[in-house]
């Protein structure tokens, strides 16, 4: 009987019978994944040509295009800023800071101590537990700044830390690394702790924190027994004033404190008032939310998730503060009632820390997977699956496979907003196609934290997607020829991540190009920049040159009028005007290199006025002398 009803009634009428249940599934799935309040926006079309005015109005976006990918930058940090063999940079994090009044996006990484990198002869108990107890400081650089032969322009660097952001307590006793001594170290002790090397001399210190397990009385014997570490019991270097810093891997530490929470895979380090802190995102999840679609998360199926907690770990003392960010989440309310001393309200978070919180990638990744289908609010459209979206893929080089685009942090001004902000974004393509159809932005700054905006593009116009742009780059004859030439000279060409940002009412794609020695031991150097809009592919030595070629004004085309007879007086005027034009052009070029697009526009306007005067005098439009070789632009195929 059930099979008969299914065949005779349910299946032929599924489109109408299932609509109420589909509507319920859409509604509850959105609620379960925190997508109920996504704001739709159709004002941004993305089909307009990029202009100099767009760039001039949005300098912050252009100045924060991320040209340093994590992989090449991590290699560069390791070779330039590790400074000693036993230091390592485990991960590159993206964040934002205000430096000299400029709000900008930085990449930052902790310089952690890796005991495994010590020579085997130095790997003894005293060094492991008493001497080499901590990492030291961070390296940080703007996302697109390049100096010298294509290297990062550091704003925090060296030992002891120097740069634009003060670091007054650089010791990292608690971090991401799992090494032989990440279980515990002792400080202070009668042995000196290695702090950092200064020239040929070593600088030593002692732990001055207040938090740790006291090694006095029976504690020492009990911990020696617990850890099966006889040296801890008998060492004369450990005193009654010593503290054990235990469980120093921050993931293990917070998981032990709150095993009922799930944690984001990417803790990130921040500098606040000269101290270093780790920020970790924690989640409450469930599998029993009614009518919600299941999705895989960290190896398990879930159908409900909230980024309900931010955990802040002091890198020096290891204290962990759990701040409840979503007080409406019933799960965290239950945990908060059970463990009231563990959690603090969101408004207790210091402002310096709050300025660095962000929508986490693990959460956004799962939301993106859900929203690709559940953005459809009409049950009929959902039933026919006619408007399903995909996460874009792109093949960054002819020899590589296509990879799914990952969400990425950017700093730019959303369409219609007044100020730039730190965002996590993801573009979408229609299912089975390569053109862009929409993009989703998660906001992280100030009172806008946690707000989502979906920008849906017109279905009547073709806006190039990442794979289509990658094809245009790979098919460009000049780029291909240059890559071949660079390979032949013994250099390894590495194409960076192809990313896209909206500027004005246009999309701007950008891809960095790195060179390194084929041996693989050379420092990656940022040597070229590719910019792409709807019309052109630009390939240049620097971002400034690429922007100039993409949106800078070209001189008027020559006319077919017969040449005029030039008198000595007119010739003198022409010489003077050409000199003025060259001066303004050089000033414009220098401004462009600094990223000062307002001055660039004013100087180019002056050049245009002079060229008009020259045209009136000569009937032609002479070309001013260029202060440097011009990049080139290739029309799109």
H-state helical runs in 542-596: 543-551, 568-594
Tokens read off for 102: 């400029």
> Per the structure block, which two tokens stand in for 267?
């803790």
> Taking every pair of C-alpha atoms in the chain, what is the biggest distance, in angstroms?
106
Q: What is the pLDDT of residue 10?
A: 66
**pLDDT value for 30:** 98
Q: What is the pLDDT of residue 528?
A: 96
Does residue 627 have a pLDDT over 70?
A: no
Q: What is the mean pLDDT of residues 10-16?
A: 67
- Judged against a pLDDT cut of 50, whether residue 558 lies above it is answered with no
User: What tens digit of pLDDT does each residue of 534-551 get?
Assistant: 999 999 999 999 999 999
pLDDT at position 374 is 98
Please choose, from the candidates 280, 435, 429, the residue with its C-alpha nearest in 3D space to the C-alpha of residue 361.
280
Cβ atoms 368, 389 nearer than 8 A: no
pLDDT at 614: 75
Average pLDDT over residues 491-495: 89
pLDDT at 570 over 90: no
pLDDT of res. 395: 76
Residues 138-193 have pLDDT tens digits of 999 999 999 999 999 999 999 999 999 999 999 999 999 988 778 899 999 999 99
pLDDT value, residue 8: 63
Tokens for 95, please give them: 């964040």
pLDDT confidence tier of residue 490, bands split at 50, 70 and 90: confident
Give the CA count within 13 Å in the CB-facing half-sphere of 339. 14
Helical ranges in 163-305 per DSSP H = 218-227, 230-234, 250-257
Question: pLDDT tens-digit profile of 320-340?
Answer: 999 999 999 999 999 999 999
Burial class (CB in 10 A: 0-12, 13-18, 19+), 373: middle
HSE-CB at 476 with a 13 A cutoff on CA atoms is 23
Beta strand residue intervals within 181-299, DSSP E: 184-187, 193-198, 201-205, 213-214, 243-246, 262-263, 268-272, 275-286, 295-297
Q: What is the mean pLDDT of residues 94-114?
A: 97
pLDDT grade, residue 624 (50/70/90)?
very low
The pLDDT tens digits of the residues spanning 375-407 come to: 999 999 999 999 999 999 987 766 677 889 999
| Range in 1-15, 248-262, 352-366, 588-602 the model is least confident about | 1-15
Query: Is the confidence at residue 221, as pLDDT, over 80?
Result: yes
pLDDT at 15: 64
Quote the pLDDT of residue 555. 39
pLDDT at residue 632 is higher than 50: no
User: Please, what is the angle between helix 568-594 and helix 597-618, to 10°?
Assistant: 160
Helix (H, G, I), strand (E, B) or coil at 154: coil
| Model pLDDT, residue 179 | 82
Q: What Rg do the C-alpha atoms of the chain give, in angstroms?
A: 29
Which residue stretches of 375-432 are H helix?
379-384
627: number of CA atoms within 13 Å, CB side? 15
pLDDT score at 402 = 80
Kindly report the number of other CB atoms within 10 A of residue 574's CB atom. Answer: 16
- pLDDT for the residue 576: 81
pLDDT at 209 over 60: yes
- CA 29, 35, 37, 38 dihedral sign is negative
Average pLDDT over the chain, rounded to an integer: 90
Are 434 and 463 a contacting pair, CB within 8 Å? no
Using 50, 70 and 90 to split pLDDT, how confident is the model at 17? confident
Is residue 563 scored above 60 in pLDDT?
A: no
> What is the rounded average pLDDT of the residues 269-291?
98
Q: Is the pLDDT of residue 636 over 60?
A: no
pLDDT interval class at 584 (50, 70, 90): confident
Token pair in block for residue 424: 């996590």
Determine the pLDDT at residue 631: 40
Residue with the bigger pLDDT between 216 and 629: it is: 216
Residue (of 399, 326, 330) closest to 360 by Cα position:
326
Residue % of the chain over a pLDDT of 90: 75
Indicate whether 559 pLDDT > 60.
no
Mean pLDDT along residues 447-454: 97
């Amino acid at each position: 009987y059930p099979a008969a009803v299914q065949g005779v009634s349910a299946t032929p009428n599924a489109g109408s019978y299932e609509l109420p249940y589909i509507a319920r599934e859409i509604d509850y799935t959105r609620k379960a994944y925190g997508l109920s309040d996504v704001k739709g926006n159709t004002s941004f079309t993305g089909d307009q040509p990029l202009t100099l005015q767009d760039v001039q109005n949005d300098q912050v976006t252009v100045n924060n295009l991320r040209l340093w990918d994590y992989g090449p930058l991590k290699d560069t940090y390791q070779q330039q800023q590790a400074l000693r063999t036993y230091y390592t940079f485990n991960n590159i994090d993206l964040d934002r800071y205000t430096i000299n009044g400029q709000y900008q996006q930085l990449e930052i990484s902790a310089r952690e101590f890796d005991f495994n990198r010590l020579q085997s002869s130095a790997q003894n108990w005293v060094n492991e537990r008493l001497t080499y107890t901590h990492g030291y400081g961070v390296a940080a650089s703007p996302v697109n700044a390049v100096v010298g032969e294509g290297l990062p322009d550091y704003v925090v660097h060296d030992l002891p830390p120097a740069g634009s952001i003060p670091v007054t307590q650089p010791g990292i006793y608690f971090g991401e690394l799992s090494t032989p001594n990440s279980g515990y170290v002792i400080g202070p002790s009668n042995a000196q702790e290695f702090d950092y090397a200064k020239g040929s001399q070593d600088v030593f210190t002692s732990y001055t924190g207040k938090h740790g397990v006291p090694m006095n009385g029976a504690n020492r014997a009990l911990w020696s027994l617990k850890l099966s570490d006889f040296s801890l019991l008998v060492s004369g270097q450990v005193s009654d004033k010593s503290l054990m810093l235990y469980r120093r891997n921050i993931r293990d530490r917070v998981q032990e404190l709150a095993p009922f929470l799930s944690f984001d895979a990417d803790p990130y380090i921040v500098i606040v008032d000269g101290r270093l802190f780790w920020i970790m995102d924690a989640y409450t999840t469930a599998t029993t939310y009614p009518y919600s679609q299941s999705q895989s998360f960290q190896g398990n199926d879930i159908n409900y998730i909230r980024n309900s907690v931010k955990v802040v770990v002091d890198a020096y003392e290891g204290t962990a503060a759990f701040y409840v960010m979503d007080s409406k989440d019933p799960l965290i309310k239950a945990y908060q009632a059970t463990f009231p001393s563990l959690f603090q309200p969101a408004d207790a978070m210091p402002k310096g820390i709050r300025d660095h919180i962000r929508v986490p990638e693990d959460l956004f990744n799962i939301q993106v997977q859900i929203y690709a289908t559940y953005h459809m609010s009409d049950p009929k459209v959902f039933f026919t699956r006619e408007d399903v979206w995909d996460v874009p893929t792109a093949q960054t080089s002819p020899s590589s496979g296509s990879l799914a685009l990952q969400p990425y942090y950017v700093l730019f001004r959303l369409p219609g907003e007044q100020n730039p902000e730190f965002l996590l974004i993801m573009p979408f393509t229609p299912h089975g196609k390569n053109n862009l159809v929409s993009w989703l932005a998660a906001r992280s700054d100030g009172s806008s934290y946690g707000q989502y905006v979906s920008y849906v593009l017109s279905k009547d116009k073709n806006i190039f997607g990442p794979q289509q742009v990658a094809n245009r780059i790979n098919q460009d004859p000049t780029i291909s020829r240059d890559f071949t030439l660079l390979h032949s000279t013994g250099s390894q060409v590495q194409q960076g991540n192809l990313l896209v940002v909206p500027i004005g009412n246009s999309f701007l794609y950008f891809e960095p190009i790195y060179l390194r020695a084929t041996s693989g031991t050379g420092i990656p150097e940022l040597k070229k920049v590719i910019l792409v809009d709807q019309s052109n592919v630009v390939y240049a030595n620097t971002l400034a040159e690429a922007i100039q070629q993409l949106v800078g004004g070209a001189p008027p085309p020559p006319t077919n009028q017969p040449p005029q007879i030039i008198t000595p007086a007119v010739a003198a005027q022409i010489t003077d005007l050409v000199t003025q034009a060259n001066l303004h052009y050089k000033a414009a070029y220098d401004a462009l290199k600094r990223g000062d697009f307002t001055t660039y526009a004013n100087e180019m306007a002056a050049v245009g006025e002079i060229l008009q005067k020259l045209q009136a005098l000569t009937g032609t439009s002479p070309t001013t002398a260029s202060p440097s070789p011009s990049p080139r632009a290739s029309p799109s195929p």
